[in-house]
Amino acid sequence: MQVTEDIVRDLLPVYFSDECSQDTRKLVDEYIHANPAFGKEAESFKRGLLARPIPAGPGKNAEMQSLRKTKRMLRVRGTIMGLAIFFTLAPFSVYRMGSGGTHWLFLDSPAEASIYGLVGIALWVTYFVMRRRARVL
């Protein structure tokens, strides 16, 4: 296999950061020695690497902030699930009015029952969106 300039150019970052093997170092050295024009380009690449600022890592409290955020999201998601269950089952609830007997909410008050049902559906949608978002993160 013939070593091309593109292959050596791909190896330059690991070469200059001293993260490559001895064989890779030898290969790049030989190519630079054989092609002095590319050697000048490689040196300018090295100066560009050294001139770049090193990105700062996460702060000291990043893990604790992430943990707090996750706990808060799980609490909110659990609350939304509880409310979704309540509002989904509320239209099927039964109540007694004095001695008049038992009344089904969805039979005696269909408007209220449908409102409960719509709120329940909205809460389920919110719950599943939050659940999906948590999996992606």
Both 16 and 36 in one domain: the answer is yes
Both 69 and 98 in one domain: the answer is yes
Range of 81's domain? 62-136
Q: For residue 57, is it within any domain?
A: no
Q: Model pTM?
A: 0.53
Higher pLDDT, 35 or 56: 35
Both 36 and 89 in one domain: the answer is no
- The CA distance from 129 to 85, in Å, is 16
How many domains are contained in the chain?
2
> Model confidence over 58-97: pLDDT tens digits?
777 888 898 899 999 999 999 999 999 999 999 988 877 6
Contact present, 107 and 114 (Cβ < 8 Å): no
Both 100 and 127 in one domain: the answer is yes
Both 41 and 66 in one domain: the answer is no
* pLDDT-above-70 percentage for the chain: 88
- The CB density around residue 76, as the number of other CB atoms within 10 Å, is 13
- The CA distance from 105 to 99, in Å, is 17
Both 24 and 87 in one domain: the answer is no
110-119 burial, b at 16+ Cβ within 10 Å, e below that, comes to: eeebeebbeb
Both 46 and 66 in one domain: the answer is no
